[in-house]
Chains A and B, each alone.
Chain A
Amino acid sequence: MTELTYLRAISDGLRTEMREDERVLLMGEDIGVYGGAFKVTDGFIEEFGPDRVMDTPLAEAGIVGTAVGAAVVGLRPVCEMQFADFVSCGFDQIVNVAGKMLYRQGLPVNITVRLPSGGGFSGGPFHSQNPEAWFMHAPGLKVVAPSTPEDAKGLIIASIRDPNPVIYMEHKNLYRHVKGEVPEGSYETPFSARVARPGSDLVVITYGAMVHTALEATEDIEGASIMVLDLRSLVPLDEAAILSAVHECSKVVIVDEANQTCAAGAQVSALIAERAFEDLDGPIVRVASPDIPIPFSPPLEAAVLPSVERVREACRDLLEY
């Protein structure tokens, strides 16, 4: 075990898997000589060479399209979108080409697309988004979103090994703010949920950076026993873990940093309404960003993103219901 930041844990996972499997290569904008906009691949080009750490043009469709072709002939490319917001330029290659290749032609597309996502640092409307739900809606893709350094490493390795196209959501606000013990060597984190904190009066269901917001918000609400369920994987969604948590707690708060409409939490909410109706002891409560672009202005951004206070208030209100 070593203590690593979330960012270093992703680097560690990529490096470990590249050392173990020479089919793994990286593609992205400024990931080679410059080491990536956030320095995730700092030093990689020195160790693995420019053939496996490829600087690409500013063309997301080209990055993903090239990766799909490479995967079809047996390689395991990992694409970096410099910001998750830019993935829309590669959307067709992911959703229509990669996601449906197995269905149409029987060819697995073993690619991983890394999406540095999320706000909280005044990045504004083009550098702060959480577009994971776009991909949850498209069949043929998996979507994961680790919240801890340990899971960040285990899930990047599991994503590279998974034969499906995997969208790997890495939250920029966790990069350097979150540190944790990370096992050495190679390991996979399963595509399933994790109980971040057990509890029985109420469950907060969330993923990614909001796991930390939820843990802080519910640390002590008049001594109530509050579970925090970290989904980790959005596709596949760990339905059994969600239903079991609702059965246990009967009161549910779902937190998304993404814009509220059709966010991942909307699917969780629908699942609970359909399958856990008789376990509910109150309305399903959602906390998310309103359906507006993320503002540059720090006070406005703070007002838009789900805060510790908003999550705490939502929990307190539901506990009293």
Chain B
Amino acid sequence: MTSSSTDTGTIVDVTMPQMGVSVAEGTIVEWRKQRGDWVEADETICEVSTDKIDTEIPSPASGRVVEILVEVGVTVQVGVTLARIATDARPGEPHSAEVDAPPAAPATPAAPAAAPSPPAAARPAPPAPPRPHPERSRRRYSPVVQRVADEHDVDLDLIEGTGREGRVTKQDVLAWVHARSASHSADGEPEPVLHIESPYRPGAGGSVTGPYVAPEGRPLSRMRQQIGEHMKRSQQTAATCTTWIEVDVSRIEVARKQLAITALPLIARCVIGALVDFPLINAWLEDDVHTVHEQVNLGIAVALGEDGLIVPVVRGAQDLSPEGLSRRIRDLARRARARQLSPDDVRGATFTITNPGQFGSMMATPVISQPQVAILDVEAIIKRPVVITDAFGDDAIAIRPMVILGLSWDHRALDGALAARFLANIKKRVESYEY
């Protein structure tokens, strides 16, 4: 259990941490350290998966890993001991991380005095990418500078300060944000789309010369496996039906431009209003237990490139304005893409919106995220000729931005009439949107 050079050491347990209020267990994905390895305090010792979120577990202490108790792939409860670390272990064999460890006693024979590099250089490289100006990370920023930086997602270390002793002033950070947005709009680089159902790109490949070589199969990624398992279980569990409605989004388009946000948070705001009117749809069905929620926790599907997709949750969405929803959705999407969501960010959705229409697709039959009873699919907004009736009852053909909303709903929990009334409620809210 202990390495040969370790005396009766102080043993520190590495336990499965509580990673979110609703998380009870986690699965070991990878051990970064093996038995016998030296680990620094706060260095990642292993990676743990809960639902779709992978979390790096920092070591609680510096020392040698003397025991690994839970193998990769095994799921254990919060609090279970995963590994043990001997904290007063001393290097037996040289280990790169140990070079700068202070000698325990003058008599220690293994102190590698011959190491030519200074101690700092021997430390393991931090996992974060190197900062362009490491000396700046000690700078202090005024409250307004920090607020502006947070609001605009600015790395303050990148900014040259013009204040006293190089302090970054409010004017400096505002000018930087201004310059960035100017260069962004010049690049014409669009925001990444929230949800890409089909990553297929035509035109790739082309003529293949030479003898045909059968491609080698590879196992699905864990995320794909989890998505697949979840979707399959939903289809086996729910009696899924889909109902569509066509909606004129002219008023949303105007409001969107006024508020400088996307259409999604505005449509989401209408959907939330409809959910409050139809609480039976803001609900969970677990076996024969139907739980109706007062609070709307809105799941928003976010594509993670080719890896898969994840559905972070906007909690208490009924209390948010379209601008507030926009901010929360952007924040969640940004953190999802940066793989920075916490397990709580993806739990407890009472209803889900998926928005894969950025490529012009018009209709879909989304799969319900269990145990919710419905999911709304928002497709592409497309200008179409439609028949409108004016105030005098006269009909005319007009060009209007239209969208098809598809609601997949669980026939065990509700019937088609309710689904249709719910969609009609959304349609009415969207088409009479007050901006």
Contacts and interface: CB of A to CB of B under 8 A. Distances in A.
Pair from one complex: yes
B163 A280 contact: no
Interface in B127-174: 142-147, 163-164, 167, 169-171
A277 B143 contact: yes
A32 B144 CA distance: 56
Contacts of A201: 171
B247 to A, nearest CB: 39
A278 B163 contact: no
A250 interface: yes
A278 B141 CA distance: 11
Contacts of B169: 281, 321
Contacts of A320: 163-164
B395 to A, nearest CB: 51
Contact of A250 (B146, B164, B167, B170): B170
A190 interface: no
Nearest to B167: A321
A125 interface: no
B151 to A, nearest CB: 10
A281 B164 contact: no
A282 interface: yes
Nearest to B173: A281
A103 to B, nearest CB: 38
A321 B164 contact: yes
Contacts of A279: 143-144, 147
Interface string B241-265: 0000000000000000000000000
Contacts of A282: 142
Nearest to B165: A321
Interface residues of B, number: 12
Nearest to B147: A278
A219 to B, nearest CB: 21
B141 to A, nearest CB: 9
A278 B142 CA distance: 8
A281 B146 CA distance: 9
Interface in A254-288: 277-282
B380 to A, nearest CB: 39
Nearest to A247: B144
Contacts of A321: 163-164, 167, 169
A278 B143 CA distance: 5
Contacts of B142: 250, 280-282
Contacts of B167: 321
Contacts of B146: 278
Contacts of A280: 142-144
A184 B47 CA distance: 80
Nearest to A320: B164
A319 to B, nearest CB: 9
B120 to A, nearest CB: 33
B142, B146, B147, B167: most-surrounded residue (chain A CB, <10 A) = B142
Interface string A304-321: 000000000000000011
Instruction: Tell which of B143, B144, B145, B171 has the most Cβ of chain A within 10 Å.
Output: B144
B168 to A, nearest CB: 9
A38 B145 CA distance: 50
Interface in B159-207: 163-164, 167, 169-171
Nearest to A283: B142
Nearest to A279: B144
Nearest to A249: B170
B376 to A, nearest CB: 36
A250 B144 CA distance: 7
A250 B172 CA distance: 13
Contacts of B143: 277-281
A135 to B, nearest CB: 32
A84 B8 CA distance: 81
Which of A277, A278, A320 gathers most chain B CB within 10 Å? A278
A282 B142 CA distance: 6
Contacts of B164: 320-321
Contacts of A277: 143
A226 B171 CA distance: 14
A107 B36 CA distance: 84
Interface string A189-223: 00000000000010000000000000000000000
A177 B169 CA distance: 39
Most B Cβ at <10 Å: residue of A278, A280, A281, A320:
A281
B147 to A, nearest CB: 4
B166 to A, nearest CB: 12
A152 B167 CA distance: 43
A238 to B, nearest CB: 21
A116 B232 CA distance: 85
B299 to A, nearest CB: 31
B102 to A, nearest CB: 41
Contacts of A281: 142-145, 169-170
14 contacts: A250-B144, A250-B170, A277-B143, A278-B143, A278-B144, A278-B147, A280-B144, A281-B143, A281-B145, A281-B169, A282-B142, A321-B163, A321-B164, A321-B169
Interface of A: 201, 250, 277-282, 320-321
The 3 closest A-B pairs by CB, nearest first: A281-B170, A278-B147, A281-B144
